[in-house]
Structure formats: C-alpha cells, structure tokens
Structure 1
C-alpha cells in the first residue's frame, strides 16, 4: 500500500515538473500518456485532499451549529430578561399606584356667600358645607378653620373658595394655609383651593383684581395644595350673576359639576 502511494506521488511529480512531450516527439514504449498521468495525479489529490475537505466541512458545520445555538440562547435570554423587566416595571407601577391611592371619605366645601349659594343650589350632595355670607379672612381663621379641624378625617378632600370679599388679604390667606394645610394632610386629607370666580359689572370688584389674587395664591400656597381653576373656566364658557357677585342657580350647578369633574381627573370620585 505504501509503495502504491509513493509511486503515485512520483507520477504526480513527473507530471508537474518534467516537460510534457514536445510536439512531434515520440514517447518511449510503455510510457503513460499525458492524460493518464493527469488522471493519476487527480486520483492522488482526491485521495489525500478530499479527506481534508470533508474534515473542514464537518468543522465548519459544527462551528455554524454552535454559533446558531449560542444565538438562540442569547435571544432566549434577551426575551426572558425583557419579560422579567416588564414584570418588575408592572409590579413597581402597581406598588406606586397602591401607595398613591386615596379613598375619599368626604368632601368639605369651605367658603363665603358664594359657597353658601352653591350649597343651596346643589343640596348636600354627600358633602360637608362650611360657609358664611360676607365672610373673609377673619371668619376663615376664627371659625372655619376650627370647623375643618373637627370635620377632617382620613380621606377628606377639602375645597376652599375664599377671597372675593377681601382681595387685599392674599398673603394673610397664604400664611394661615401654610400653617394649616400640613396639619390637615397629616390627618389624611387632601386640600384644594378653588380660584376666586369672576364678577359681572361690579362697581367695586374687578376681574383684574381677582386674577391678581388668584395668581398670588397659586404661586405661593404649599406645593401639596391642589388648584381648581374655575375662574378661567367661567370666563371662557360663560356665567350669569344675580347682582354682579352671586351667581344664578345654573352657574352654581356648573361650578359644582366642574369641580367634581376636576377632582375626578385627580382620581377623586
């Protein structure tokens, strides 16, 4: 077997390095023709090289399979990671939602004669009403605050609408509310300030003064205080008064409905 392989290599070398028969020359008797030598050379190459080719092909196939398996494993890991992250995000959202959830137990409306008029229009509507005709800062401080303290419980929503009778006392309201709002919140309440609403052709009160009062309170109340912008809502959608200050029943109902809609938008129902 070894001699046969050696002879084939000799023939291959002869084919490659000995010049081919020149044109017209006669080959010695019994000498293989050029075509035979080439065939033998190819047989030799096939025997020794095809095994290498097959080996390489197997290696390439194996490497491709390994790479494919790794890619599939990576994709699976990515999917599992994404699913885990989504689950964690959902859990965190639910926990945050649970932490910020607020179960309303009562609504407490506090204000002057306009609050009294709204109460007369809508009835109790399941709310607590603390109001006084011609009331201002002194009544709010001396009377209303104490009634709120007695009424407030976990889940209370306090809506304050004061100022039309004493627009010059904006900073007095702010100082008092900076003290009281944190106390009410510690008891589990939320506090909202309803903007002072517009007047209609009043000789002593202007809507410009109302806007200035609202801006001062909006920018200086404790940051935890919610704001219900009924003033702009009425100016844009329309309103009617009985005497320039006090609204008609339709407008009072409109203010109440809008307030509850805003509170519902805060998740308070």
Structure 2
C-alpha cells in the first residue's frame, strides 16, 4: 500500500545498454576559462580516476585528482586540504588569470556529518576563491543498500544520502555551484561494480561501473560555469 511519495531505486541495470563513452566523446577542460579542474573525493572519485586514466592521459588533460578510498571529512580537512591547496597556491585573484575549478564529492562515508561538512566547506571557500578557484559540490550519488553486504560495505541508507544532499544544497554558501548528479543518475540509470576499474561483475551497491563513471565525469565537465 502506497501512502505517500516514494523514492524508487533500480535493482538491476542492463549494463550493455548503458552508453559507453569513448575518449573522443569525453568533454575537455575549457581552456578559455580554466587552467585546470580538480576532483576531490573518496573511493568513488579514486575509481573514476582509475577508469579515466586507463583510457589514456589525453582523455583527462589538465584534470587532477585529490582522493583516497574510505575517507571523509577528517582526511579532507588535513591531508586532502594540504594536497589541494598546494595545487592552487600559485593562483592569483585577477581577472586576467585563468581559474581553477574544484569539484568536491565527499560524504558517502560519513553521511551523518552533513552539518560539519557545510561548516568546513563554507570556511575554506574564501581561501580558495582568493586563489582563483570556482567551487562546486557534486551530490552524494545513489547507493543500493540491499547490495552493500556483497562486499562487507558499511551499512548506510538511501534516505541518509538524500538528507545529506538536501542539507548541503540548502546551506552551502553562494561560492558553491551544486551539481545534482544524484537526480541525473536516478533519471538516466547507473550500474555498480566493486573493483577499482569498474569492470567487475560483483554489485557492491556503492561503486560504479566504468560506463557510469565516464558518464558522471562527462556530466560534471559539462556543468562547469561557462566563460563570462
């Protein structure tokens, strides 16, 4: 019996029907606007990096990654921040300087800390802005709680993902542009694989296939602010 609105999740996705983007189809950095794009995240970002680099370095020219599997806010605010800041420290707050796009994608490993994430992101925004950075937050993307046990992944709920995203979307400062990848994937489909390169057959309910990672990357790149 349905008594109200429901969020429905795909249990099985036909992987062979999912678009498999080639290197030539991946969006490139808009060099008129940006000198580099930096993705900052956890294992989902790390595995996406693995997939993209396996296609060849020209596929992700001028794109860098700051990521570590299994990490969250504690890592981001220490090791992750040091690595990120070293990549942007030479930027200048000048209209003549090409900017850096920074895309954050943390939260799936510590969903309960949504208020702490907002406080941290808003706190570092002025420092990154002063170094010529445009800031983005990519939503925490769909999981399948029923499949997490396949590889002993920590339990977490779809509802907690939605709460995290809604809170950050509403409370991040105007310095951030929200990339709603969650809704995009829910409407277009996605597929899971547990291995580092997204080609395995085990659905762990958390990490995506190579095809999905490439689509996430392409959507992110196409979401970056256009030249003014």
> What TM-score, normalized to structure 2?
0.70
Corresponding residue to 2:112 among 164, 168, 179? 168
Matches within 5 A, 1:32-111: 103-111=33-41
Instruction: Give the unaligned 5+ runs of structure 1.
Output: 1-101
Matches within 5 A, 1:17-28: none
Greater length-normalized contact order (CA 8 Å, ≥ 6 residues apart): 2
SS in 2 for 1:191: strand
Matches within 5 A, 1:163-242: 163-200=107-144, 201=146, 202=148, 204-242=155-193
**How far apart, CA to CA, are the structure 2 residues paired with 1:216 and 1:196?**
12
Q: Deviations over 1:221-258 (max 9, x none)?
A: 11121111101100110001121101010110110011
Q: Deviations over 1:95-142 (max 9, x none)?
A: xxxxxxx72110000000000010011125021111101011100111
Corresponding residue to 1:131 among 54, 67, 73? 67
Q: Deviations over 1:47-71 (max 9, x none)?
A: xxxxxxxxxxxxxxxxxxxxxxxxx
**How far apart, CA to CA, are the structure 1 residues paired with 2:69 and 2:35?**
27
SS in 2 for 1:105: strand
Aligned to 1:15: none
- The ranges of structure 1 where at least 4 consecutive aligned residues each deviate by more than 6 angstroms after the TM superposition are none
**How far apart, CA to CA, are the structure 1 residues paired with 2:119 and 2:214?**
31
SS in 1 for 2:76: helix
Deviating more after overlay: 144-153 vs 114-123: 144-153
**How far apart, CA to CA, are the structure 1 residues paired with 2:84 and 2:125?**
11
RMSD (Å), alpha carbons: 1.4
SS in 2 for 1:234: helix
**How far apart, CA to CA, are the structure 1 residues paired with 2:122 and 2:217?**
26
Instruction: Give the unaligned 5+ runs of structure 2.
Output: 1-31, 93-98, 150-154, 194-203
Q: Give how far 1:171 is off.
A: 1.2
**How far apart, CA to CA, are the structure 2 residues paired with 1:262 and 1:190?**
12
Aligned to 2:208: 247
> What TM-score, normalized to structure 1?
0.59
